[in-house]
Amino acid sequence: MAEQKKLSVAEILALARKQKAEASGAPAETPPVAEAAPPAEAVAEPTAEAASTPEAPAKPAAPKPAGGKMSVAEMIAAARAGGAAGAKKPEAAAPKEAPKPADKPKPAAAKKEEAGPKTGGPKNTASILAAARGAAKPGPITKAEAAAKEKAEPATEKAPKQAPPMPVRPAAAMPKAAKAGAADDRRGFLSVMFGSMLGLGYTALAAAGGLWSLGLARFLYPNILTEPPSQFKVGFPSDFAPGKVEEKFKAQFGVWIVNTEYNGQPQIAAIRTVCTHLGCTPNWLEAEQKFKCPCHGSGFYKDGINFEGPAPRPLERYAITLSDDGQLQVDKSKLFFEEMGQWSDPQSFYSA
């Protein structure tokens, strides 16, 4: 196999330029063949022209190895140095530079600063504000401008503005004076007792305590049924006309006072207002001249004898006598039954 040929520095630089040109799309420029390859010492040392240019600052030359062969780092450094030197030579065409990216848009403040010197406008912020504000345009000013403005204007004393007088308030709209006394104290007490949750709680507690006290007192009080007296006076005998039934004692004492005849004898009797069937209270029907029970239809004559309905016996009588003052007195503690022949007892009637 044939030994590969070692490339010189110039050939390495030519290959590098060719690859760069192919990557950028420009035609590759090859160096002239007649130009001899510079020695390694010349490549390592920078030229005076390259050292004078600001774009390529001079770099210290790397020491040459003793064997005479260059390392990879030395070869790259030499290639870079050779490219910079070749760009200055007139016969070697410089490679086409890649297009630079578009400049970024500058802010408005930078544009104004750049435009300032060209147009001869203001350069600082204070002058820009003064130029934008103008003489008559209001806006924020500095302390120095305010002092200058006060000095420029003549000092004139301005009269204070007077507000128009207030209209007179009518008497109806005037606040009424609070009346001090028992009424205010009472309203204050009621507002405290019923206007707050604490007051409502104490009020409910007091009401519950009062109800419990009343219930306890009723429990301790004996359970007694109050009844009307068993003896009472109904009036004089002349107050009861013949054939008349007096009902004014029915509601209070449960008695009818009747002036009627029994077995052909005129009598004034006190008839009990209880039906002998099941204990209902009959009614006196003046138009029919009879007592009628509303429960089961039992009927009784004026003297108390039963004649219709389920009632098994006549009505009962109370004892009636003449008192010392001449009035008729009824005694409910004594009852007289007709079926037992007790209506013949002198105490069961008063002979008119």
Of 143, 159, 188, which closes a domain? 143
- If asked whether residues 287 and 343 sit together in one domain, one would say yes
User: Would you call 55 helix, strand, or coil by DSSP?
Assistant: coil
What's the structural domain count of the chain?
3
- If asked whether residues 83 and 120 sit together in one domain, one would say no
Kindly state whether residue 267 falls inside one of the protein's structural domains.
yes
- If asked whether residues 24 and 124 sit together in one domain, one would say no
- If asked whether residues 83 and 112 sit together in one domain, one would say no
Tokens of 226: 């109050």
CA gap 76, 71 in Å, rounded: 9
pTM greater than the 0.85 cutoff: no
Which residues lie below 8 Å from residue 272, measured CB to CB, with a gap of 6+?
A: 254, 255, 315, 316, 317, 318, 335
Kindly state whether residue 199 falls inside one of the protein's structural domains.
no
Kindly state whether residue 41 falls inside one of the protein's structural domains.
yes
Kindly state whether residue 169 falls inside one of the protein's structural domains.
no
Which residues lie below 8 Å from residue 18, measured CB to CB, with a gap of 6+?
A: 28, 30
- If asked whether residues 242 and 346 sit together in one domain, one would say yes
- pLDDT (tens digit, 0 to 9) for every residue of the chain, 352 residues total? 445 567 788 888 888 888 888 877 655 454 444 444 444 444 444 443 433 444 444 444 444 544 456 677 788 877 777 655 554 444 444 444 544 544 455 554 444 444 444 445 445 777 777 666 655 455 677 888 778 877 776 555 556 667 778 788 787 777 766 555 556 667 776 676 666 777 778 888 999 999 999 989 888 877 777 777 788 899 998 888 888 899 998 988 899 999 988 888 899 999 999 999 999 999 999 999 999 999 999 999 998 999 999 999 999 999 999 999 989 999 998 999 998 989 889 889 888 6
Kindly state whether residue 166 falls inside one of the protein's structural domains.
no
- If asked whether residues 239 and 337 sit together in one domain, one would say yes
In angstroms, what is the C-alpha Rg of the chain?
71
- If asked whether residues 122 and 70 sit together in one domain, one would say no
- If asked whether residues 135 and 72 sit together in one domain, one would say no
- If asked whether residues 296 and 344 sit together in one domain, one would say yes
- If asked whether residues 74 and 44 sit together in one domain, one would say yes
Of 88, 117, 152, which closes a domain? 88
Tokens of 303: 């003297």
Kindly state whether residue 179 falls inside one of the protein's structural domains.
no
- If asked whether residues 260 and 334 sit together in one domain, one would say yes
Of 126, 143, 160, which closes a domain? 143
266: domain CATH number?
2.102.10.10
Domain membership of residue 118 as a residue range: 108-143
Kindly state whether residue 212 falls inside one of the protein's structural domains.
no
Kindly state whether residue 34 falls inside one of the protein's structural domains.
yes
Tokens of 234: 């109904």
- If asked whether residues 126 and 18 sit together in one domain, one would say no
